[in-house]
Amino acid sequence: MANIEDILAVERIDNDIYRGGSFPSHLRRTFGGQVAGQALVSATRTVDEKFAVHSLHGYFLRPGKPDMPAVFLVDRIRDGRSFVTRRVTGVQDGEAIFSMSASFHITDDHGIEHQDTMPPAPDPETLSDRTDSATPAQKMLLAEWENFDIRIVDQENTAKLPGLAAQQRVWFKYRKPLPDDHLLHVCTLAYMSDMTLLGSSSVIHRDVKTQNASLDHAMWFLRPFRTDDWLLYDQTSPSAGGGRSLTQGRIFDRSGRMVAAVTQEGLTRSGVPESAASIMRPVE
């Protein structure tokens, strides 16, 4: 697998037009985190450094082709004194595969502060990385993410909160040291945020094979963080029905600071052939 720096190194083609690289993949469609990460990098290239991204909202419109680069077209929607807004469209073969709005905020603003408490979870070093026990389909997906250390907390060791339908907790980080570039860590977390989240909808449906794909993805960046250090992804799925599942995630660093929040709706269609379901089935 390519390094995350290479994946996120989009090429400038013209004013507000960028191209993301393509990388060898076993997946039938481009991993959604790659498309979102490259789109976010493209947007940030058009924004003054005094602004930092605080939120993104994206829609996966068509399956991306892993063996083909995507072109990202950036629209400068708004340039204000405190906030900047960009819209990005990812294109392959003349068709839009991804659409994203991203909002940027000045970095020296001040206001009230509070956050949720980080939920309990075993130390990541005590958890297996599951490479040995994974199914062939899961090993294929893990191979796509070989530069990321992903440790899922077993359901029996997950301290459940009352009233929530489905819950899952995951520790993850990038395996190699990364530069002290906050923008790189932000875009890397945008890539990582698509990992395992849709899988939280399946933890109470273990015996149901589903066809899975990300449909839309929203993310808020709350505090500085590093993606080459452990982050806890506290995931829930409050609702599933009609072939779709809603999932939510809160991301904490090891000190308990809430650094990001994610909401995603994904396709979780049942009654499909195993060959179609397995290739994109989440690592559980």
Q: Tell me, what's the pLDDT at 25? A: 82
Residue 170 has pLDDT above 60, yes or no: yes
User: Residue 129: what pLDDT?
Assistant: 73
Q: Is 264 a catalytic residue?
A: yes
What confidence tier does 137 reach under pLDDT thresholds 50, 70, 90? low
| Catalytic residue, candidates 25, 214, 235, 278 | 214
Same domain, 100 and 136: no
- The domain of 184 spans 126-284
Residues 15 and 142 in one domain: no
pLDDT, residue 261, reads 98
SS3 content of the chain, % helix, strand, coil (to 5): 20, 40, 45
Residues 264 and 214 in one domain: yes
- 44 and 79 in a single domain? The answer is yes
In a shared domain, residues 159 and 52: no
Is the same domain home to 207 and 246? yes
In the predicted structure, residue 254 carries a pLDDT above the cut 70: yes
In a domain, residue 112? The reply is no
Asked if residue 18 belongs to a domain, the reply is yes
The Cα–Cα gap between 168 and 155 comes to: 7
CATH of the domain at 73: 3.10.129.10
Residue 138: pLDDT band (50, 70, 90) is low
Report the sign of the C-alpha dihedral through residues 138, 248, 174, 191, in that order: positive
pLDDT tens-digit readout, 200-233: 999 999 888 888 899 999 999 999 999 999 999 9
Write down the catalytic residue from 194, 202, 237, 253: 194
The predicted pLDDT at position 275 comes to 47
Which of 171, 10, 8, 19 minimizes the C-alpha distance to 90?
A: 19
Q: Would residue 214 show up in a list of annotated catalytic residues for this protein? A: yes
Q: Which of 73, 107, 141 is the last residue of a domain?
A: 107
Evaluate whether residue 179 is within a structural domain.
yes
In this prediction, what percent of the chain has a pLDDT beyond 90? Answer: 78
Closest CA to 266 of 198, 194, 202: 198
**pTM value?**
0.92
- Domain membership of residue 148 (yes or no) is yes
How many angstroms separate the CA atoms of 70 and 92, rounded?
5
Which entry of 42, 92, 193, 264 is annotated as an active-site residue? 264
Does any domain span residue 275? yes
Q: Is 6 a catalytic residue?
A: no
Give the whole-angstrom CA distance, residue 240 versus residue 38: 29
